[in-house]
Structure 1
Amino acid sequence: MSLSSPEFDNYKLSRTACPVLVYQSSSRISSPSTKMSSSKFATPPPPANEHILTTFPKPSILLVTINRPKDLNCMNGPMHQYLHDLFSWFDNEPSLLCGIMTGTGRAFCAGADLKEWNSSHDTTDKPQKRTMTSSGFGGLSRRTGKKPIICAVNGICFGGGCEMIINADIVIADSKAVFGLPEVKIGVVALAGALTRLVRTVGKQRAMEMALTGRTLPAEEAREWGLVNKVMKGDVLDEAMKMAESICANSPDSVIVSREGVKLGWEGVGAEEGTRLLAENWYSRIDGGENMKEGVRSFVEKRKPRWVPSKL
């Protein structure tokens, strides 16, 4: 959908904390409220953030819901730090294997809190230094980690929100969701990791079009370009949950190592070099381990495997 097309009438300039193009959709998403006592974990999760809901709806699954709907789930500095800490904790928590991130209201995430960003220019420190962590926007856009995170995109996904999904492992989008990197329209640049990763995902020409025009992509076009795995009509979180459960039914060790292998290739390591690194650094650590033995044994005995938490 071109910003100069007739469909542009469906958009307006938001006057919230982050002024971006907003699609007028009534799409909403609710989050499960199931919580797990911190005593169930090896270490307690980070202290809560007022704009992030953290729940554990199913065994082995972490659900993160951005809950700042009046501001289209724009991210401020404390939210970046919290998500960085949360995903670091998630990677080291043995009982968890897959994460899901979604949003409340009409947006998944419409980008940075530009009011905060603008006011930060009144100080001497660089804004990026004060509001961003090494894992990037929302703890996700430059995250390496070792466990998969699924983005359930319920609506507007612009700027930093789009940077997050580009580095996510799997993306499920509502049919009314919209994607874009509109930074060029307001004189900034998508420096949280999206640009170099985008070209590997969609190719040079499409990446150039997206980055230089700042145009908006509807969900189906984003799927055709390879940014989105599936497009759903209204049940995006349910589908993400099914995907997470499917992942969690497998060996935790195999999931972690398989993900690492795919990421090595995506990050530009040559096929043979990536295979060598995977075998030397990862496969040797699971060869003969409890889950490998259990997987083979359960197959021979024709029963479901009983996995143990990964020690990787």
Structure 2
Amino acid sequence: MSSTLVTRPPQTSIFRLSFPVPHVLLVTIDREKSRNAIPFTGHFEGDAIFTWFDEEPLLRVAVITGSGNKAFCAGADLIEQNARASGKEELPKTNVFPPSGFAGLSRRLGKKPVIVAVNGFALGGGFEICLNSDVVVSAPNAKFGLPEVNVGLYAAAGGLSRIARSAGLQVASELALTGRHITADEAKQWSLINRIAKSQESVVAEALDIAQLIASKSPDAVIVSRAGIREAFETASMERASQVTDQRYRGALIQGENYKIGVKAFSEKKTPEWVSSKL
């Protein structure tokens, strides 16, 4: 599929990009020896990749996972941080993160959905990616945690506010203040992940199954539905969130080609053939 893309993906040394099924981007963090910890440059590479993903007409859903079988992402590259803290390396002249956060994902607003396939440890920034993703599929043996307090830091990439909103004050406090790891079962119990895969080996395949299902729906409707959910998550008033989504998207959705395709296919009892979203 990469040969049929309308635009060229950005260059990256941290991530591996592939296109395993139509309309789906698979992003693999390619630092297995470092447990897929993300160095400083990786945050900006991730931002570039997911900005490009949102604008590439042929892509509808992204899945992100880690290389190897031990870690999805162990967080920030603390070896690099230690070198900078000790003066062995120069401190970055820009912000540590882009506005979209850790790996370009932990504070990403975005337009299209991102699914996380957690194939091992998801710690620190790796867990913060999960907390801001649309769907999380976890290997049975995966572990999650915010261990920043163990090294004199805090979860600075947006994870504290998101885990408090998703799991509540007490759960968020326990995890952030103790730094302990939790199991996939605990994460699911606290609504921090969607499902636990049948096995570690199947986690990416199961995430791709969800991605394919989403990609089979109207791209316009997926974008607007995601925006409405996000608005509600970020807004104190549920009714105000509904108003904002309606005012921002209803007109363009109804006037768009995919709406006409969808209702025509329904009336004719045919499978709709969607076109790229213009939202």
Q: Could you tell me how far 1:129 is from its partner in structure 2?
A: 4.0
Q: Could you tell me how far 1:124 is from its partner in structure 2?
A: 10
Q: Percent identity?
A: 44
Q: Could you tell me how far 1:126 is from its partner in structure 2?
A: 5.9
Separation in structure 2 between the aligned mates of residue 274 and residue 205 of structure 1, nearest angstrom: 26
Match of 1:48 among 12, 17, 22: 12
Match of 2:186 among 212, 216, 221: 221
TM-score (norm 1): 0.85
Q: Is the 8 A contact 1:78 1:131 kept in 2?
A: no
Q: Could you tell me how far 1:268 is from its partner in structure 2?
A: 2.4
> Which amino acid is the alignment partner of residue 274 of structure 2?
W
87-96 or 75-84: bigger deviation: 75-84
Q: Report the counterpart of residue 178 of structure 1 in structure 2.
A: 143
Q: Report the counterpart of residue 92 of structure 1 in structure 2.
A: 55
Separation in structure 1 between the aligned mates of residue 208 and residue 93 of structure 2, nearest angstrom: 33
Distance 1:202 1:129, change over 3 A: farther
Q: Report the counterpart of residue 106 of structure 2 in structure 1.
A: 141
Q: Report the counterpart of residue 156 of structure 1 in structure 2.
A: 121
> Which amino acid is the alignment partner of residue 63 of structure 1?
L
1:232-311 matches, cutoff 5 A: 232=197, 233-234=199-200, 235-311=202-278
Distance 1:63 1:79, change over 3 A: same
Q: Is the 8 A contact 1:76 1:131 kept in 2?
A: no
Separation in structure 2 between the aligned mates of residue 113 and residue 107 of structure 1, nearest angstrom: 13
Distance 1:129 1:184, change over 3 A: farther
Q: Is the 8 A contact 1:117 1:127 kept in 2?
A: no
Separation in structure 2 between the aligned mates of residue 130 and residue 186 of structure 1, nearest angstrom: 20
Separation in structure 2 between the aligned mates of residue 103 and residue 227 of structure 1, nearest angstrom: 19
Q: Is the 8 A contact 1:77 1:130 kept in 2?
A: no
266-275 or 239-248: bigger deviation: 266-275
111-120 or 148-157: bigger deviation: 111-120
Q: Is the 8 A contact 2:83 2:89 kept in 1?
A: no
Distance 1:222 1:286, change over 3 A: same
Q: Could you tell me how far 1:269 is from its partner in structure 2?
A: 3.9
Q: Could you tell me how far 1:285 is from its partner in structure 2?
A: 1.1
TM-score (norm 2): 0.95
Q: Is the 8 A contact 1:100 1:149 kept in 2?
A: yes
Match of 1:109 among 69, 73, 83: 73
Separation in structure 1 between the aligned mates of residue 100 and residue 215 of structure 2, nearest angstrom: 24
Q: Could you tell me how far 1:225 is from its partner in structure 2?
A: 0.6
Distance 1:195 1:127, change over 3 A: farther
Q: Is the 8 A contact 1:174 1:219 kept in 2?
A: yes
- Equivalent residues, number: 275
Separation in structure 2 between the aligned mates of residue 289 and residue 188 of structure 1, nearest angstrom: 47
Q: Could you tell me how far 1:77 is from its partner in structure 2?
A: 1.4
> Which amino acid is the alignment partner of residue 158 of structure 1?
L
Q: Could you tell me how far 1:127 is from its partner in structure 2?
A: 5.3
Q: Could you tell me how far 1:301 is from its partner in structure 2?
A: 0.1
Q: Secondary structure at the match of 2:175?
A: helix
Q: Give the gaps of 5 or more residues in structure 2.
A: none
Q: Give the gaps of 5 or more residues in structure 1.
A: 1-34
Separation in structure 2 between the aligned mates of residue 130 and residue 275 of structure 1, nearest angstrom: 34
1:116-131 matches, cutoff 5 A: 116-121=80-85, 122=87, 129-131=94-96
Matched, 1:60 2:26: no
Q: Is the 8 A contact 2:125 2:157 kept in 1?
A: yes
Q: Report the counterpart of residue 9 of structure 1 in structure 2.
A: none
Distance 1:47 1:201, change over 3 A: same
Q: Could you tell me how far 1:255 is from its partner in structure 2?
A: 0.1
CA RMSD of aligned residues (A): 1.6
